[in-house]
Structure 1
């Protein structure tokens, strides 16, 4: 199987999973955390080197306050409960997203997770928290503008590589594949710069039902794709097309 180096996942469908069962949205999010644990385990076993999970977008703050509080609570539980195991499994945890507006307790937990696992190498688990693709680019633009204003860089020298190096994902390879669950077929402001050449796989299952078989299905679909990166496929060259 042609395994992608970097898989990113838009974990969609917790609320609908709960509603279909007559449960609260919070119960759906709790079940979704279980799916996160399974996805991390499967990624390592299947040979994926980087796994990025869209945990909480910069737009999610608009949700009802009770739901946001529940999500923050689940994040705390996940880190406190799972961090030691992730560390034992040699998983490096990294956070992308805007940290400036986060509450101190959340920021401290995220920083602790990064510091403890910094030297781990089996799998890099990138958690997109308070993240938005446009915001990522805007923050990179402000950083480069500040450097230019101070005379540290020549504005004329700014190129794709310069911008990529200013993003939250500066030293992380672009995703080879982006999976979205729940049947929705949109990117929802996720890694919009980095996804320029990613393969998209849209799965009908809701996120709490995402399991190893779902992961393997997505990897098989990825393996069937002809990744051209703007070039002509070899078979097309042979046919003269």
Structure 2
């Protein structure tokens, strides 16, 4: 991959696995949902920091396909939180010129939430300061499976020549097809795993695993990680001249 100037600059696209809400609440003797509400408030600060840091695309992992395994109380509370977040933040996001997109298995969510997601996407479709993508009911393997199914349907219908399929073909069927691949993936809370997040897209991303719990993730922490990225030598499998 040619040098495009990003070796010495900050990341254009940052993806974040927002982990640690539950533990943050438990350390304070509060229910886990208290931590999720604190984490939701932190999102605004991070989104608003993006323009000053040169981050054009921000993708956040809000709810995974595996999170349905949590207790019914926590899942119901999270779904309520997502609905209230969209209702509360919609106008602020538009006023800040933030374009919002959702990725994931949307039909697996309740109809009211789906309608709110559609409305927020439509409301912000002409915004262009920051592109905020929210991964909701998302799993990397599930995304690839759904993309492969659509690709196979196009082959069966004669719209796609199987001999023409290469590594550039599948991304056109992914949920993220209109987004650049992430340059930097951050995971909070001290866990050093990617948890089925953007598996295809992050093949050459830089990773930062930090101990900070998500509700404690401040603008300054974010800025520090973006600054660290600028000093990394990204060779994409090659040798820098």
Smaller-chain TM-score range?
over 0.9
| CA drift at 1:183 | 1.0
Alignment counterpart, residue 203 of structure 2, candidates 196, 201, 207: 196
Aligned to 1:209: 216
TM-score after normalising by structure 2: 0.95
| CA drift at 1:2 | 2.0
- Secondary structure of the 1:128 match is strand
TM-score after normalising by structure 1: 0.95
Moved over 3 A (4+): none
Q: Is the 8 A contact 1:201 1:222 kept in 2?
A: no
Query: Matched residues in 2 for 1:43 and 1:214: separation?
Result: 13
Query: Matched residues in 1 for 2:185 and 2:22: separation?
Result: 21
Aligned to 2:153: 146
Q: Give 5+ residue unaligned stretches, structure 1.
A: 235-241
Aligned to 1:7: 14
Query: Matched residues in 1 for 2:206 and 2:53: separation?
Result: 18
| CA drift at 1:221 | 1.7
Superimposed CA distance per residue, residues 76-134 of structure 1 (whole angstroms, 9 cap, x where no aligned partner)? 11111111010011100000101122210010010011000001100100000000000
Superimposed CA distance per residue, residues 193-238 of structure 1 (whole angstroms, 9 cap, x where no aligned partner)? 000000001111000000011101211221121100011133xxxx
Aligned to 1:29: 36
| CA drift at 1:34 | 1.2
Q: Is the 8 A contact 1:201 1:221 kept in 2?
A: no
| CA drift at 1:44 | 2.6
- Secondary structure of the 1:160 match is coil
Q: 1:77 aligned to 2:73?
A: no
Query: Matched residues in 2 for 1:199 and 1:78: separation?
Result: 29
| CA drift at 1:45 | 2.6
Q: Is the 8 A contact 1:164 1:170 kept in 2?
A: yes
Q: Give 5+ residue unaligned stretches, structure 2.
A: 1-7
Alignment counterpart, residue 107 of structure 1, candidates 101, 111, 114: 114
Query: Matched residues in 2 for 1:37 and 1:86: separation?
Result: 9
Deviates more, 1:37-46 or 1:132-141: 37-46
**1:41-190 residue pairs with structure 2 within 5 A?**
41-190=48-197
